[in-house]
Amino acid sequence: MAKKWFKVDAVEWIKSDKEQNYSVGLSRVNGQKICIVQNNNELYAFDHKCPHAGGHLSQGWLEENMLICPVHRHKYDLRTGRGAGMQGDCVRTYEIKQINEDIMIKLKLSTLNPMNWFK
């Protein structure tokens, strides 16, 4: 499936910890909610909802390079999205980069337009 870079218009930073040098926020990109994490000047992007219980990851926090879901405290690796230990689940990650002041995220383009399914 084709992918395209989209500009992130705004990030609503929900949780910040100056002492540990991270921020967790929410953005809408191409109509999709994305959780964005800034940790030690590195950016990471994830699906907004936890695959385990549907918790909003943008309301989570970081512990040792792991994003913690606020619902059941499931932990996801910032780099890979893999669940910690025996959790057995993963959260989808997205390529993200910063160019000057702009944050860009790479999302898949749907090759099928659902609006045309019933025509």
Give the pLDDT band (50/70/90) at residue 117.
very low
What is the rounded average pLDDT for all residues in the chain? Answer: 88
Residue span of the structural domain in which 15 resides: 3-110
- Per the structure, the count of domains in the chain is 1
Q: Which of 111, 103, 94 is nearest to 32 (CA)?
A: 94
Query: Is it the case that residue 71 has pLDDT exceeding 70?
Result: yes
Tens-place pLDDT, residues 24-34: 999 999 888 99
Structural domain includes residue 38: yes
Does this model's pTM top 0.75? My answer is: yes
Q: Domain holding 11: CATH number?
A: 2.102.10.10
Q: Count the neighbouring beta carbons within 10 Å of the beta carbon of residue 79.
A: 10
Has residue 45 got a pLDDT over 70?
Answer: yes
The set of residues, in sequence order, having a beta carbon less than 8 Å from that of 9 and lying 6+ positions away, is 27, 28, 29
pLDDT digit string, tens, across residues 54-70 = 899 999 999 989 999 99
Q: Is residue 55 part of a domain?
A: yes
39: closest CA among 60, 65, 14? 65
